[in-house]
């Protein structure tokens, strides 16, 4: 199989990249390869909205303020020119999507409505009730079909193949048949999404957010950047960790402890519930730690998100999905009762290192979306900035990949890698499992949440890392595939995903131990202060053939705003 431009991933980043690529050059073969049907990508779960300084609600808003808020939110670890590019592109790309047919919610005057969001100084988040990602994903998919993008649905990418200088292609399993193939491509865009499933059982992410592309990049010798930064969203449902969008607080929801206090007044007196996510998550955990949280019969600790004062009409109009989720998964109607919530692992700031053109160090290999780290989110992403990031950089990646494909031919090689992958899968299929995948995944989630959670310290992390190493060793020794069939073998797929999760968890743990400071989402009790003198750098990690890591320090672009203390 051969395609000029092969995009792996059909979330917002992959679909926007595909759309830009076909519009750029109709004569190239552009294909999207995806393990789930495109409209089931995690982008479809995004609720709250997408940021752009349209100034529809507050006429004093502008792109410069958006840039500053994002940099401040990032705790000064974002690359400032890259942030500026994203924020100035935002109004253009929102209008482009509006013209494609994305059904945004409207103000009385017909303009796109905007709501307040965490860490933003103005009402800047464009929305479609609480289903922003869903409507974006469906509209982009329709547009791709209209423009003739080819879809390889339900194909699972295994590895990225290159010759040390440029892209050769990827190896992938056709899930429907179980056949493993080498797909050659002049350019490849990795748009495989995030990896918060390493916190199995404690995450808002879909089952498929297993960092497959990020792990494959690591195996292919590409650098991963800022992997220690993983954001906890303050409001996951108590039992399932399913997300309750920031829109709930944007619309005026209150966080309350067991004493009925709006405790955010202690931690962010000005922004209150709309402080940035890292701060709000820590505040909730602090209340729980100090005994002011609730505890249910099963020992789960939580606080309340109270929407009751918003009234039935507003909840039904602006937050219908949140109401449904609270009823289905907690048995609680937010019109009548507060929602039990706790922080949930939500978003990976770290990922595959690229420059602003979405280029990795290997020619013809690009990354976009949550899998990518430019970095525009630094140590902490603001709500509404990811849906923006994925389309802005999806657009760039699509164009750059076309430009490269136009000037090159298919590279030779890759047969060895294909053979290796087929052998690896045969081995897994023939092995008897001595432990079960389900138990091991839960164990991974427990280790990560307990030892690499909202609060961290050296001792806890070292203990956690030892447990993780043991789990990795056992998984390689004891885990096989129970289901021996070739057709739609989801047991095999889940096992491969689990191996990817383990690789990512390993890097995240390793990177966390190197950073002896607190910054944005990354908080250590033993080093509670930000330390610009020693740690204002991007961590860059590559893997050696023997499995050890190389750790380097990448420069942060602070050319626009001097780092300052964050106050909210």
Q: Looking at the annotation, which residues are catalytic?
A: 277
Site map (CB under 6 A) of ligand FAD, residues 102-141, x = contact: ------------------------------xx--------
CB of 465 to ligand FAD, least distance (A): 26
The answer to whether the CB of 159 falls within 8 A of the CB of 170 is yes
In the bound state with ligand FAD, the residue whose beta carbon lies nearer, of 160 and 461, is: 160
Answer whether 163's CB lies under 8 Å from 413's CB. yes
Rounded alpha-carbon distances, angstroms, from residue 492 to 9, 172, 433: 19, 13, 12
Q: Which is nearer to ligand FAD, 65 or 371 (CB)?
A: 371
Interacting positions 209-238 with ligand FAD (CB under 6 A): 209, 212-213
Give the span between the Cα atoms of 228 and 129, in whole angstroms: 33
Decide: is 41 part of the binding site for ligand FAD (CB under 6 A). Answer: yes
Residue 432 tokens, joined: 């008897």
Q: How far is the CB of 345 from ligand FAD (least distance, A)?
A: 10
Least distance in Å: CB of 407 to ligand FAD?
27
386 binds ligand FAD, rule: CB under 6 A: yes
Candidates 86-94, 257-265, 273-281, 386-394; binding stretch for ligand FAD (CB under 6 A): 386-394
What's the Cα-to-Cα distance from 158 to each of 78, 151, 174, 362, 557, rounded to whole Å? 30, 17, 11, 18, 34
Q: Is 186 left (phi over 0), alpha (psi -120 to 50) or beta?
A: alpha
**Which tokens belong to 419?**
């053979």
- CA dihedral sign, ordered 108, 111, 113, 118: negative
Q: Is 72 exposed, middle or buried (0-12, 13-18, 19+ CB in 10 A)?
A: buried
> What is the footprint of ligand FAD within residues 18-37 (CB under 6 A)?
33-36
Give the nearer residue to ligand FAD in terms of CB position, either 7 or 288: 7
Residue nearest to ligand FAD (CB): 11
Q: Which of 159, 192, 214, 235 binds ligand FAD (CB under 6 A)?
A: 192
Q: Can residue 358 be called a binding residue for ligand FAD (CB under 6 A)?
A: no
The three state secondary structure string of 510-562 is HHHHHCCCCECCECECCECCCCHHHHCCEEEEEECCCCCEEEEEECCCCCCCC
Closer residue to ligand FAD (CB): 82 or 536? 82
Question: Which of 4, 5, 7, 11 contacts ligand FAD by CB under 6 A?
Answer: 11
Q: With respect to ligand FAD, which residue has the nearer C-beta, 14 or 364?
A: 14
Which of residues 12 and 343 has its CB atom nearest to ligand FAD in the complex?
A: 12
Q: How far is the CB of 60 from ligand FAD (least distance, A)?
A: 23
CB of 295 to ligand FAD, least distance (A): 25
- Cα 37 from Cα 47, distance rounded (Å): 20
d(C-alpha 10, C-alpha 153), whole Å: 9
Q: Which of 206, 147, 158 is nearest to 23 (CA)?
A: 147
Binding residues vs ligand FAD (CB under 6 A): 8-14, 33-36, 41-43, 45-50, 132-133, 155-157, 191-194, 204-205, 208-209, 212-213, 243, 245, 347, 369-371, 383-387, 390
């Amino acid at each position: 199989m051969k395609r000029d431009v092969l995009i792996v991933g059909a979330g917002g980043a992959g679909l926007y990249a595909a759309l830009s690529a076909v519009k750029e050059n109709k004569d190239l073969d552009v294909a999207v390869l995806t393990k789930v049907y495109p409209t089931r990508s995690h982008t479809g779960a995004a609720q709250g909205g997408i940021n752009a300084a349209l100034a529809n609600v507050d006429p004093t808003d502008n792109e410069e303020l958006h840039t500053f808020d994002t940099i401040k939110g990032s705790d000064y670890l974002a690359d400032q020119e890259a942030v500026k590019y994203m924020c100035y592109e935002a109004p253009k790309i929102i209008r482009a999507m509006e013209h494609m047919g994305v059904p945004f919610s409207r103000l009385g005057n017909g303009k796109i409505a905007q709501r307040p969001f965490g860490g933003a100084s103005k009402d800047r988040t464009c929305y479609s009730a609480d289903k922003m990602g869903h409507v974006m994903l469906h509209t982009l998919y329709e547009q791709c079909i209209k423009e003739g993008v080819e879809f390889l649905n339900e194909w699972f990418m295994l590895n990225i193949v290159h010759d040390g200088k440029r892209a050769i292609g990827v190896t992938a399993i056709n899930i429907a048949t179980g056949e493993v193939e080498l797909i050659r491509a002049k350019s490849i865009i990795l748009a495989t999404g995030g990896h918060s499933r390493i916190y199995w059982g404690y995450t808002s992410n879909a089952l498929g957010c297993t960092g497959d592309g990020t792990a494959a990049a690591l195996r292919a010798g590409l650098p991963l950047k800022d992997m220690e930064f993983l954001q906890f969203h303050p409001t996951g449902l108590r039992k399932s960790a399913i997300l309750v969008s920031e829109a709930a607080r944007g619309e005026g929801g209150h966080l309350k402890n067991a004493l009925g206090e709006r405790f955010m007044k202690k931690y962010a007196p000005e922004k209150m519930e709309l402080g940035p996510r890292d701060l709000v998550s820590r505040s909730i955990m602090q209340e729980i730690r100090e005994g002011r949280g609730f505890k249910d019969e099963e020992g789960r600790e939580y606080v309340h998100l109270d929407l009751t004062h918003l009234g039935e009409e507003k909840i039904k109009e602006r937050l219908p999905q949140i109401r449904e989720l609270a009823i289905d998964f907690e048995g609680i109607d937010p019109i009548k009762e507060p929602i039990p919530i706790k922080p949930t692992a939500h978003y990976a700031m770290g990922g595959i290192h690229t420059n602003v053109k979405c280029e990795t160090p290997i020619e013809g290999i690009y990354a976009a979306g949550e899998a990518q780290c430019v970095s525009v989110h630094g140590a902490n992403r603001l709500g509404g900035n990811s849906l923006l990031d994925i389309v802005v950089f999806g657009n760039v990646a699509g164009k750059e990949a076309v430009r490269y494909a136009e000037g090159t031919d298919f590279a030779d090689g890759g047969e060895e890698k294909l053979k290796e992958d087929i052998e690896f899968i045969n081995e897994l299929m023939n092995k008897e499992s001595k432990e079960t995948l389900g138990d091991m995944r839960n164990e991974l989630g427990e280790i990560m949440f307990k030892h690499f959670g909202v609060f961290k310290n050296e001792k806890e992390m070292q203990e956690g890392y030892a447990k993780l190493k043991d789990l990795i060793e056992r998984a390689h020794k004891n885990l096989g595939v129970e289901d021996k069939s070739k057709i739609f073998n989801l047991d095999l797929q889940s096992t491969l995903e689990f191996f990817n999760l383990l690789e990512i968890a390993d890097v995240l743990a390793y990177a966390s131990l190197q950073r002896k400071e607190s910054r944005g989402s990354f908080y250590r009790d033993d080093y509670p202060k930000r330390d610009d003198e020693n740690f204002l750098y991007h961590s860059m990690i590559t893997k050696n053939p023997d499995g050890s890591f190389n750790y380097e320090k990448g420069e942060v672009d602070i050319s626009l705003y001097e780092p300052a203390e964050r106050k909210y």
